[in-house]
Chain A
Amino acid sequence: MVAMYKRKNYGFYSLVVFLIILMVAPTAFASPKIKIGVIGPMKFVAGQNHWWGALLAAEEINAAGGVMVGREKHEIELLKTDSNEMQNLTDAVSSMERIIKVDKVHFITGGFRTEAVLAMQDVAADHKRIFLGGSGSPGVTERLAKNYDRYKYFFRALSPVAVYFTQVNLFLLEMAGDKMKAELGITKPRVALVLDKIVVADPIVTFAQDMLPKMGMEIAGVWRTSPMANDLTSELTAIKAADAHLILTFLSGPSGAIFNKQWGELRIPAAPVGYNAEANALAHLQATGGMCDYVSIWGTFGGVKITDKTVPFFNKFIARAGEYPLSNAATYDAVYLLKEAIQRSKTLEVEAVIRELEKIEYRGASGIMAFYPRDHKWPHDLKTGPGYTTMLGLQWRDGKLVTVWPDGRAALGDKEWVGIKYEGTVDYNLPPWMITYWKKKK
């Protein structure tokens, strides 16, 4: 009887041990995951795009088996962190510190505001973590030029440098100006400059003031708005009074949303062209009540075939996030860039991955991605122009965002742009009420 009892005990305990082994074994023997921190203002559209872009990439990579490091495959694990940089820059620094020191991420991607990215860049440098970040300010990569050894961990993978998108602003302005000449016979369009009073916009004012006369345009006035402005009626009234035909915008915050809404409501007869951080999202259509129709902005993704990865990513993003992907969704390409660099270096060792990132040329959803070398004035910035990252000119039309540029013509006299027109691009249109207004005024 006692012997039978003891046999039953052994059997029971053996079963328990076996079950424990079954539960623990997969994790005990699994390859450690590659942890990537995704940091951004998660309560706002910029941060949400950071997350969705990275998530789609991580899911695809893991579904395909993961990242090959040497002979082992590792899955990617994303850690979402709210930098709260739209409200408090100190939070951005603490969040960055936390994901590095507490969550022990291997790599980081994200960041939106220049002020926040500069601070996060320092934290990444302190802890020698590769940070594929955003922002457009040249100052972010000029730091590398001055102190390469400290800041080499940073690669601006989510956005070209502001100087380039200043050029794109002018490319779009030239396109709109050509349309004015063709449809209204206006040979010297007057341009109102409306820019938020932020660091990254300052050089754009100077550049535009220098370039517009050379482009055969006149400056009707310069309006510097607060990025948090909640009413721009006065500015729009003044722009109309100045007889502006075109409005060059650089609106980085809520000012962009209210600008388009009030511009459309008042039917201001000047076509807005340029950067508007709020205007690339589907939510913008609802927020403005459809008043954003005919507004033209630049962006990274537009549903046209930049590479064979673009359209599938664009459609998948809309299906999953219910939104158009903004430039911040380039975290999708950032995660894939990291995968490529890790696989080529065959290690997670930081210096080796940096060396691979510096020489990589990757065909991403946003274009051909490669970085300027360390001796460039903006090291680790995305190479831009024909053959690399071009950005897109977009326009709201009948509730949809369509791509209107590159349009296959020379841009500001640069013939390298001839023939660059992605499949799915349509012609730029002026707002119909603007055509009526200026035809009457003649």
Chain B
Amino acid sequence: MVEALIINGLLFGGMYSLLAIGFSLVFGVAKILNLAHTAFYMIAAFLAYIATMILGLPLLLSAILAIIVTSILAMVCYKLCFDRIKEHETAVIIVSVAIGILIQEVLLLIFSGHFRRIPPFVSGFMEIVGIRVAYQNIFAIAASILTLSGVWFLLTKTKFGIALRAVAQDREIANLSGINVSQICMITMGISGILAGIAAVIIGSIFLVSPLMWLTPLIIVLAAVVLGGLGSLKGSVFAAFILGFAEATVTCLIPGGSFLKGAISLSVMVGVLLIRPEGLFGVVFEEERL
């Protein structure tokens, strides 16, 4: 039982962290609460489905194309919609929800409510301490770790990463230092699109693709980002694993209540926020950033 808890917790945590980190990046840098983030994840999944199952392209090529196109769409969306209204937070939230719903309805119109699938990169399963785990799930954990490492490297070891962190810390000073804030924000949006695309091609083959697939992860992503501390990438990753383990715990220990796993993991978030309102790694006051 404990083994199942650990393995499933790692699986869910890895998956949620991939989604949460892209969301957190956009919020931290561009200060945009992009509720359409998981809708981009859904677009990437459908693009991968179209490329593999309809056009018959190889899986790796389909994945790369889906990720690139999603990234471009995210940047276009930023330029056309968010850039003009980013000073008005409420408007940004409403517009992002509207974009998400629009994407959902368009996909419903084209594909109806049928479920689709993306083939896995690796088929089959293995047994770990008596627990059956699909190879694709192990691949997903490894890909999550690799992607998170890549993001860490980008942010800490590259000039672009330094510019990005500068914008996240203080936009005005960054602007005065000669950093093109608007361009950084747009590129960050593109990176978040890439992360959503990576999540889609990996996770989409574990789950199923449908026009409603963006809603459940959105709640978990929001919970992870809030629990981890808004804008904290490290916090989002930790929080994603906490929520993943919370879900795995509920299913393993309370089989009759497994439908509550979403509610319980969100309750964990509420519980932590009551003790630490800024989240696990958030700052208490704005001045503390300096």
**Which residues on A are within 8 Å of B, measured CB to CB?**
41, 43-45, 48, 86-87, 196-197, 221-226, 228-231, 233-238, 240-241, 254, 257-258, 261-262, 265-268, 278, 281, 283-284, 286-289
A257-B208, A258-B207 known; A43-B113 Cβ under 8 A: yes
Q: A235 with B262: in contact, given A241-B1, A261-B117, A266-B134 (CB under 8 Å)?
A: no
Contacts of A238 in B (CB 8 A): 1, 4, 251-252, 255
Residue-wise, chain B 60-72 has the 8 Å CB interface mask toward A (1 for contact) of: 0000000000000
Query: Residue B11 contacts which of A222, A230, A233, A258 (CB distance < 8 angstroms)?
Result: A233
**B259/A235 in contact, CB under 8 A:** no
| Chain B residues within 8 Å of A226, by CB | 259, 261-262
Q: Is B232 in the interface zone, CB < 8 Å from A?
A: no
A-B contact sample (11 more), CB < 8 A, given A86-B113, A87-B212: A221-B255, A223-B256, A225-B258, A231-B206, A234-B4, A237-B7, A261-B208, A265-B136, A278-B115, A286-B53, A289-B119
- Shortest beta-carbon contacts, A-B, top 8: A234-B251, A44-B113, A197-B259, A287-B115, A226-B259, A266-B132, A223-B255, A257-B115
- Counting contact residues on chain B (CB < 8 A from A), the size range is 35 or more
Q: What chain A residues lie within 8 Å of B247 (beta carbons)?
A: 234
Cα A405 to Cα B271 in complex, Å, equals: 51
Partner of A48, one of B112, B136, B259, B261: B112
Question: Would you give the shortest CB distance from B215 to chain A, in whole angstroms?
Answer: 8
B251: A residues at CB distance < 8 A? 223, 234-235, 238
Distance (Å) between the CB of B224 and the closest chain A CB?
16
Q: Can you list 18 residue pairs at the A/B interface with Cβ under 8 Å?
A: A43-B108, A48-B112, A222-B256, A224-B258, A225-B258, A230-B208, A237-B4, A237-B252, A238-B1, A238-B4, A254-B210, A258-B208, A262-B134, A266-B133, A267-B125, A281-B114, A283-B114, A289-B119
Residue of B nearest to A233 (CB): B8
Q: Tell me the complex Cα distance, A240–B248, Å.
A: 15
B113 in contact with A45 (CB, 8 Å): yes
Count: A-B pairs, CB below 8 Å? 113
Instruction: Give the chain B neighbours of A236 by CB distance below 8 A.
Output: 132
Minimum CB–CB distance from A191 to chain B (whole Å) comes to 13
A286 to B114, CA, bound (A): 10
A242: nearest chain-B partner, CB-CB: B255
Minimal Cβ-Cβ distance residue in A for B137: A233
A45 touches B8 (CB 8 A): no
Q: Are B132 and A41 in contact (CB under 8 A)?
A: no
For B258, list chain A residues within 8 Å (CB): 223-225, 234-235
The smallest beta-carbon distance between A215 and chain B, in angstroms, is 21
| Distance, CA A86 to CA B215, complexed state (A) | 14
A266 touching B125 by the CB < 8 A rule?
A: yes
Complex Cα gap A306–B12 (Å): 46
Which residues of chain B are within 8 angstroms of A286 by Cβ–Cβ distance? 53, 116-117
Given contacts A254-B115, A266-B132, A278-B115, contact A234 B125 (CB under 8 A): no
- The answer on a CB contact under 8 Å between B116 and A230 is no
**What residues of B have a CB within 8 angstroms of the CB of A278 in the complex?**
115
**Which residue, of B116, B131, B247, has the highest number of chain A Cβ atoms within 10 A?**
B131
Minimum Cβ distance to chain A for residue B76 (Å) = 27
Asked if B191 CB lies within 8 Å of chain A CBs, one says no
Beta-carbon contacts under 8 Å, B109-132 to A: 109, 112-117, 119, 123, 125, 130-132
CA distance A278 to B53 in the complex (A): 20
Also in contact, A41 and B113, with CB within 8 A (given A228-B216, A233-B137, A234-B248) = yes
Asked whether any CB of chain A lies closer than 8 Å to the CB of B150, the reply is no
CB B18 to nearest CB in A, in angstroms, measures 14
By a CB distance below 8 angstroms, the chain A residues around B206 are: 231
- A261: nearest chain-B partner, CB-CB: B208
Q: A135: shortest Cβ distance to chain B, in Å?
A: 18
Q: Which B residues are CB-close (under 8 A) to A233?
A: 8, 11, 134, 137
Which residues of B1-50 have CB atoms within 8 Å of chain A's CB atoms? 1, 4, 7-8, 11-12
Given A222-B256, A258-B207, A287-B116, A234 contacting B132 (CB threshold 8 A): no
A221 to B251, CA, bound (A): 12
Which chain A residues lie closer than 8 Å to B136 at the CB level? 265
Would you call B213 an interface residue if the criterion is a C-beta within 8 Å of the partner chain's C-beta atoms? yes
Q: Give min CB distance, B20 to chain A, whole Å.
A: 16
Which one of B123, B130, B257 contacts A224 once the chains associate, using CB atoms below 8 Å?
B257
Decide: A283 near B259, CB < 8 A? Known: A230-B208, A233-B8, A237-B4.
no
- The CA-CA distance from A196 to B207 in the complex, in Å, is 18
Given contacts A266-B132, A267-B132, contact A230 B216 (CB under 8 A): yes
Nearest-CB distance from B290 to chain A (Å)? 42
CB interface residues, B 250-273, toward A, < 8 Å:
251-252, 255-259, 261-262
CB distance from A212 to the nearest CB of B (A): 16
Note all chain A residues with C-beta closer than 8 A to B252.
234, 237-238
- Chain B residues positioned under 8 Å from A267 (CB to CB): 125, 132
- Which residues on the A side are within 8 Å of B7 (C-beta)? 237
Cβ-closest chain B residue relative to A255: B259
Given A231-B206, A238-B255, A254-B208, A287 contacting B113 (CB threshold 8 A): no
- B130 surroundings in chain A (CB, below 8 A): 241
Given A41-B113, A45-B114, A288-B117, also A237-B216 (CB < 8 A): no
Write out the residue numbers on chain B whose beta carbons fall within 8 Å of the beta carbon of A231: 12, 206-207
Contact: B115 with A237, CB < 8 Å?
no
Complex-state Cα separation, A257 to B209, whole angstroms: 11
A265 engages B125 (CB within 8 Å): yes
Inside 8 A of B259's CB, which chain A residues have their CB? 196-197, 224-226, 229
- B207 & A230 in contact (Cβ 8 Å cutoff): yes
Nearest residue, chain A, Cβ from B135: A265
A241: chain B residues at CB < 8 Å are 1, 4, 130-131
Q: Which residues of A sit under 8 angstroms from B207, Cβ to Cβ?
A: 230-231, 258
User: How far apart are A266's CB and chain B's nearest CB, in angstroms?
Assistant: 4
Checking B8, B115, B210, B257 against A234 with a beta-carbon cut-off of 8 angstroms, the contacting residue is B8
